Structure 1
Amino acid sequence: MTFCENMFIADSLEDFFRFAECHNAIQTEIELQRIAPMLLQIMKRNPQPMGIKDNQSRFVYSNQAYIDLLNLPEGFELKGKTNSELPASTSEFSQMFIAHDRTTEKAGTTVKSLEIHPFGPQQITQPYIFCKTPIYNRCSEPLGTFFHCMPLHENISLFTNIVLGRIENAKTVTATQRTASEAWKLKTPTELLSEKVWEALFLYGIGLGDKQIGTRLDISTTAARARINRACQTLKIPVSQISDFMRARGWLSHIPRRFLHEYHRSLLLDEDI
């Protein structure tokens, strides 16, 4: 099995997993012997959700992180099933996911999509970037797709830190805020803030001013500022540091339901995104 030009080449998915699970098997290809077990171990141990589907969009393998992301029941057997057969909030989008898989196979390169659905144990509606990479045999016939995903805030945080030059001081800010507030230990912003206050703070965190926030929430500029101040008081974080706090905590991935209209979304993205 080889990986090149954003695609995997293997003799078959069955061979891939047979070799991946049998480290001491006599293998005819040194490269397959080296890479297949390595990739399987990477998927098993990786905190990012990832897995493999065959060319009929049936799951061949997924790691525990993906199972947790979909909040599947303990012991649920994923192998051999399509998205429509999963007890998950994303099952209604199965046909769209199948279309994405076929698009990936035809494109011959990694294809990205933006997925906004209820994810995780708390089923919080949030955005994830899914990347799908085609797997072919040596006759260039599609065998399936390898997929992995990450919360959208990881891309936002990286981009913001690089552009604004915050990479060097990010650790310092994080350490200061960790001691400044018990809210640092919270997993989500709405565990401590009301939905209305979080809506205002979220808009502030992505760069909107008081007037813009007021317009978006249909409240006065004064009320918008009051909600932001209330959030900072609750979190015990100065207004000047609140945006960095939100990025460092990954809170920008927790888009308020009001802005999502409680819809699901599944959108293919351009290659350069």
Structure 2
Amino acid sequence: MDKESNYMEFSLNKDMDIRSRSFDALISYMEHSNEFWYIKDHNSRFIYMNDYGLHYSGLPKGFNPEGKLDSECPVYWSEIADIIQANDRNVMESQKVIPTLMTFMYGGKEKLIQPFLADVTPLVKEGKSIGVVGRAKKLEIYSMYHLENNKCPESISFGKPTDLFTDREFDVVFFALQSLSAKEIAKKLSISHNTVENYLHSIYDKIGVSALNQLIEYCRKNGYDKYAPNRFINPNPYMPLI
């Protein structure tokens, strides 16, 4: 037997492969990562989830998912365990990476919502799939604003970033941040142009500005441009993209 045949391997991307003789080496790499990582066995039971993943997964504090199926985890995404496990099987059988959109609720009572774009990758040993490795990064936005100001992409969260605005006012703020005019915002929200103008005046009064460009500058300064209203959340918390 070729002494290298005992290696397990998976790919981070088309240019970077990870090869190791033990899970310990893989887990050491994942523990120091600021991305969401997990490993499952061939039955789709969790072998490992890093601290970053545990934080965002919505699992109760102190809960250890090791040895558990998705359906055995006390969290909302356990209800779609059949979809998750079917995707795991597809990854292992095809030995191909499947990109997946995941949306997690976390933060206890606050119920913050964070979308992740993940690659579910086959974990291969001696040419056979023995499980899957999930690597997820926060979903990022990249707009003309970032391009013009030489800024890196930023992660996006769902919800209202401040109680300063009502839900409807933040809908208006969100579309204003996409550089839409008041008439275009009215069309998006299926309300009248005058109603949008009234919302804008209320928003301006609250933050002490008098024009759309000032509103946009204020929101970017305070990080409100990194949020989207909850109504844009995909109702499916786990969606394979192929």
TM-score relative to the length of structure 2: 0.75
Q: Which string of whole-angstrom CA distances, capped at 9 and with x for unpartnered residues, describes residues 206-260 of structure 1?
A: 3443223212323222322443454455456773265576568765664323344
Q: Residues 244 and 93 of structure 1: is their aligned pair in 2 closer, same or farther, counting only changes over 3 Å?
A: farther
Q: C-alpha distance in 2, partners of 1:249/1:49?
A: 26
Q: Which string of whole-angstrom CA distances, capped at 9 and with x for unpartnered residues, describes residues 85-132 of structure 1?
A: 111121111111112212222343332112235344322344321221
| Structure 2 residue 219 is matched with structure 1 residue 269 | no
Q: Which string of whole-angstrom CA distances, capped at 9 and with x for unpartnered residues, describes residues 164-204 of structure 1?
A: 33226x7xxxxxxxxxxxxxxxx951443221111111222
Gaps spanning 5+ residues in structure 1: where?
21-35, 171-186
The correspondence for 1:256, drawn from 229, 234, 237, is 229
Gaps spanning 5+ residues in structure 2: where?
1-6, 153-158
Give how far 1:45 is off: 2.6
> Which residue pairs with 1:95 in the alignment?
82
Q: Residues 250 and 87 of structure 1: is their aligned pair in 2 closer, same or farther, counting only changes over 3 Å?
A: farther
Contact 1:125 1:254 (8 Å CA) reproduced: no
| Structure 2 residue 54 is matched with structure 1 residue 67 | yes
Q: C-alpha distance in 1, partners of 2:95/2:214?
A: 44
Q: Where do 1:17-96 residues align within 5 Å?
A: 17=23, 20=24, 36=25, 39-96=26-83
| Structure 2 residue 127 is matched with structure 1 residue 144 | no
| Structure 2 residue 22 is matched with structure 1 residue 16 | yes
Q: Residues 96 and 220 of structure 1: is their aligned pair in 2 closer, same or farther, counting only changes over 3 Å?
A: same
The correspondence for 1:205, drawn from 170, 177, 180, is 177
Q: Residues 202 and 107 of structure 1: is their aligned pair in 2 closer, same or farther, counting only changes over 3 Å?
A: farther
| Structure 2 residue 206 is matched with structure 1 residue 240 | no
Q: Residues 216 and 55 of structure 1: is their aligned pair in 2 closer, same or farther, counting only changes over 3 Å?
A: same
DSSP-derived class of the 2:174 partner: helix
Percentage of pairs with the same residue: 25
Q: What is the count of residue pairs matched by the alignment?
A: 224
Q: C-alpha distance in 2, partners of 1:100/1:242?
A: 43
DSSP-derived class of the 1:90 partner: helix
Q: C-alpha distance in 2, partners of 1:41/1:90?
A: 27
> Which residue pairs with 2:117 in the alignment?
129
Higher strand proportion: 2
Higher helix proportion: 1
| Structure 2 residue 153 is matched with structure 1 residue 165 | no
